Amino acid sequence: MGRQTDIQDSSHPDESEADKLDRNWNELLQELRVSQTGVQILTGFLLTVPFTVRFGALDDVQRIVYLVVLSSSVLATAFLVGPVAFHRILFRQGERPWLVHASHWCARAGLITLAATICGVVWLVFSVVAGTTPASIAAGLCAAFFAGLWGALPWTARVTD
């Protein structure tokens, strides 16, 4: 039941179920292309950080935050690239409804972990440059911004329609 509500909409009333699935899949792929590139670049950058001279100067809290941020970035990468793996494994297996549903949830989880990663990176950079109090404020503002822009704003559009 929940699977169907993710793929049905009234914007194209004359579409068949197969056409809706194809359109939803294609729209999802376009969205993923945008986020996949960014998260892969961010993850690659984070993987190089321990090999810099400045990394040795991080305190224990900063190192723990770095490891959490790196792990979050890897999770975001896995979530945002996951639909590609799903598609490859299920190609021409007649599983388009499952593929669209599962990929939708992976994309949502990927965006959430990407936002958490970016907020963590902001905390880490601010903590190195300005200290932990400004870092906490900056990361909190970053989280509020993502929650507002990626969560509250679309939610209000959804509720008002």
- Asked if residues 120 and 65 have their Cβ atoms less than 8 Å apart, the reply is yes
**Structure pTM?**
0.84
CA distance 81 to 78: 5
Band (16; pLDDT cuts 50, 70, 90)? confident
Q: Where are the domains of the chain?
A: 16-160
Confidence check: pLDDT of 55 > 70 = yes
What pLDDT sits at residue 13?
72
The residue written with tokens 């998260």 in the block is: 39
In the three-class reduction of DSSP (H, G, I as helix; E, B as strand; rest coil), residue 104 is classed as helix
* Tens of pLDDT, residues 120-129: 999 999 999 9
Confidence check: pLDDT of 3 > 90 = no
* Tens of pLDDT, residues 64-109: 999 999 999 999 999 999 999 999 998 888 888 999 999 999 999 9
Tell me the average pLDDT across 4-33.
Answer: 77
